Amino acid sequence: MVRAAKLVTCLLLMHLLKKNTVFSSNYLILHEDFGSDNASINIMGIMKNFLTTLLFIFPLIGNATYCEGRTDKQEIEEIILQITSKYFPNLSSQNILVKEFNSDAYFLQAKPKISTLVGRRKARKYFVEINKKLYDCSPGKMALESIIAHELIHINDYDRMTVPQIIALAGKYASKKARAKYERDTDKHVVQEGLGEGLIQYRRWIYQQLTPKELSLKRYYYLTPEEITELMEPY
């Protein structure tokens, strides 16, 4: 998207130059008055048109989203299997299901399957929910590995909890302060596992997707790239 906006800018500049110039075999002549006062006026006109174009294009560039290509449900499932095997061998990947959803602010989230909470703990199932927008604009594999690790830490927590403890945790989400502490502690766990760089990439990617209000909340609830970098220094 960014490259496309820059290309449009260049094409518009070329169009403006072509519109205001005449090319000869040896010289570039501005309305055949190169060197005259009229030429200066024409140059100023071109620059004025170009600056107007930039004012139109820059908001598009600023709002453009950087994508690392595409992904799909199969790749997400493969990453879940990989991260589960390496970091959470106590979890059975067969009990982790991928479910799709739509949202403007959230792209991955983990939830227990409510109907499986009653009964044997080994029979529990969990959802890693994926925003379908990720498929067309992926943050990159390293970023996906880190944010999926974040969600699997949540699942690992749920799997160790009793049902009353899970309900109590859900109740904590009503408190901004308690929610921020839990999510930031989860981010710290991701960094401790050596996945901080991917988490930085993910945060930078998602920040481009958000409104100013959503961005402010994200920076409050989760570690920022700057905070993650500071935490990575001892590791």
Of 217, 214, 94, nearest to 155 (Cα)?
94
* Segments making up each domain of the chain, as ranges: 2-63, 73-232
Q: Is the pLDDT of residue 194 over 90?
A: yes
Q: Is the pLDDT of residue 136 over 70?
A: yes
Instruction: Find the radius of gyration of the CA atoms of the chain.
Output: 26
- Can you list the alpha helix ranges (DSSP code H) found in 27-119? 37-63, 73-87
What pLDDT score does 65 carry?
60
> 147: left (phi > 0), else alpha (psi -120 to 50), else beta?
alpha
Q: Is the pLDDT of residue 202 over 90?
A: yes
CA dihedral 196, 171, 207, 217 (to 10 degrees): -120
What pLDDT score does 40 carry?
46
Q: What would the mean pLDDT of 105-111 be, rounded to a whole number?
A: 92
Q: What would the mean pLDDT of 148-158 be, rounded to a whole number?
A: 97
Token match 């799997």: residue? 159
What pLDDT score does 53 carry?
45
Q: Is the pLDDT of residue 86 over 90?
A: yes
Q: What would the mean pLDDT of 197-201 be, rounded to a whole number?
A: 98
What pLDDT score does 48 carry?
55
What pLDDT score does 106 carry?
87
Q: What would the mean pLDDT of 184-200 be, rounded to a whole number?
A: 98
Higher pLDDT pick, 85 / 2? 85
- Taking CA atoms, 26 is separated from 22, 31, 136, in Å, by 11, 15, 48
What pLDDT score does 34 carry?
37
Tens of pLDDT, residues 19-58: 444 333 333 333 333 344 554 445 555 555 544 444 444 4
Q: Global pTM?
A: 0.73
